[in-house]
Amino acid sequence: MKRVAMEANNPYVACMQYTLRNIPPALDQALRDRAKREGTSLNEAAITALARALGLDAKPMRCRSLADLVGTWQNDPEFDAAIQDQHSIDRDLWR
Per-residue pLDDT tens over the stretch 26-74:
999 999 999 999 999 999 999 999 998 888 876 776 788 888 888 898 9
What's the pTM value of the predicted model, to 2 decimals? 0.48
Taking the C-alpha atoms of residue 7 and residue 2, their distance in angstroms, rounded to an integer, is 15
Residue 93 pLDDT: 84
Does residue 61 sit in helix, strand or coil?
coil
